[in-house]
Amino acid sequence: MDGLILVNKPQGLTSHDVVVEIRKIHNIQKVGHHGTLDPIATGLIVIAIGKATRLFPFFSKEDKVYCGEIKFGFATDTYDSAGKPTTPEQTTFPKKEIVIQAMKKFEGEIFQTPPPYSAKKFRGKPLYELARKNKEFELRPSYVFVHYFLMTEYNPPLLEFKVHCSSGTYIRSLAHEMGQNLSCGAHLSKLTRIQIGHFSLKDSFTLEEIRVLHQENLTENYLLPLETLLSDLPKIILNERGIALVRNGNIIFPGDILKIIADPSINTALSEQKGLSFRMFSLEGKFVALAKKAADKNCFHPFLVIDPRK
């Protein structure tokens, strides 16, 4: 079994818990996830099974969209409702217009510091492990990009929002820094991930739904097959000689190719100059490799080979 499963994660489970459940349901060990969700968060998590786990680099940098709730009044050590208060509680809150202006300051490219309780690593150790042991460590900020950070409702002390951001953005940090910016303290009280790249929460399944469908031998209802993934990349159909060559990672020349199929919206010639990847398929329609075109030759170099025989 190879492909992706879009899971609607419930509150209380870690991303690893979801991986464990998927392993149990399908009796398969080769399972991983694209993008961590905190236990208090709900929503979309993309699970890879089998050979699809090898495509992690292509999904790990996808933009994400969330909706959620920020509670003004006090900050916490985890930057969310699971933590302990770190500031005195306040009962006066900023006006709607002031909050909207503050949210605008977090749009575009920003330099963001991760929460002290996070999976971000310092000298090989996750920050949450060091924080729990009261170990000293450096919180290293990094650049992230926020496409929009919008208010959907405001009933002080609660702010409901929607945000579209780059991979690596911590919504907990946005909430915490909002509180600092407005001098009233704040933390993330609710969060739901509704989109990862072009994958949507509305197309996801609960763990119970997946369990039932699997028992009824209806895996195809929720599994996105390997052959349907990365569909924005041009598709190369290889002949038998090409398949034999690609299985050993050898260079593929025009004589080994039957057809190249590309999305008409993609400028393939321009994309090749930018290092575009190509999907390689067998005559039977099996996804066998990813390759790049050589800059100075009319040939392709496979860099990730997926042998369909295994």
**Beta-carbon contacts of residue 4 (< 8 Å; ≥ 6 apart):** 46, 47, 48, 49, 52, 199, 223, 224, 229
- What string of DSSP letters covers 173-225? HHHHHHHHHHTS-EEEEEEEEEEETTEEGGG-B-HHHHHHHHHTT-GGGTEEE
What is the chain's alpha carbon radius of gyration, rounded to the nearest angstrom? Answer: 23
Catalytic residue among 2, 17, 38, 256: 38
What stretches of 16-84 adopt beta strand conformation (E)?
Answer: 31-34, 42-49, 64-72
Q: Is residue 83 within 8 Å of 189, Cβ to Cβ?
A: no
Give the pairing type, strands 64-72 and 186-196: antiparallel
Place of tokens 């100075």: 296
C-alpha to C-alpha distance for 72 and 176, rounded to whole angstroms: 9
3-state secondary structure 51-66: HHHHHHHHHCCCCEEE
SS3 105: coil
- The question of whether 296 is a catalytic residue gets the answer no
- Using alpha carbons, list the distances in angstroms from residue 16 to 35, 186, 214: 11, 28, 20
Q: Which pair of structure tokens corresponds to residue 165?
A: 């951001």
Active-site positions read 38
